[in-house]
Structure 1
Amino acid sequence: MKVFFLGLAALLCLAGAHALRCHVCKHKLLLFGCVQGSGEATCGWRERCANIKASLGMLPVYYRLNCTSVANCGKVRAPDESSLTYDYSCCNTDLCN
């Protein structure tokens, strides 16, 4: 039983050592780059790097870079309180967004 827990602990340590790193930017404009909140983040176990395009109709307004849940990848979300839609494009290598 002791060997089992030691093996499990080793696997958890290895999984943490290979955590996905992503760029972070709250507001990225096409011509100006990141204008607010830049840096890097370490994603959780069920997260991927995301490039999230905020659009008003067909017009891209800004981009957001961050980690997101795997469930959001490839989806377009439209919150009720906003007229913006958010298109989630994900990748799974370090700093790929």
Structure 2
Amino acid sequence: MTSEQELNDERRFLSVPGVANVRDFAGYRTNNGSTVKWGRLYPCGALATLRASSHTDFLDLKIGLICDLRRDEELADAPAPQFIAEGLVQRSPINPGSTLDI
């Protein structure tokens, strides 16, 4: 499979109503030649827009950890829905410019 085919694999794009750009990072090759397994890593847009009606769709992904990269101000403006379990969220805010040395 070519890189372009990997990027556009239909299995990658998931529908979770209320959340933008949910996709599966599976199939990408790692630096050591392995590949990311399907159903393990899902980047997405803000979960603050996740609707209660999509709760089941969200749970079906069997997510064990949510990495919330938003700053405190962003979190205050748009908190995650209350039906997302507290222990599931790990906050690691990224501030503008904080990743320039990575």
TM-score tier after normalising by the smaller chain length: under 0.3
Higher helix share: 2
Between 1 and 2, higher relative CO (CA 8 Å, sep ≥ 6) is seen in 1
Larger Rg: 1
TM-score by length of structure 2 reads: 0.22
TM-score, reference length from structure 1: 0.23
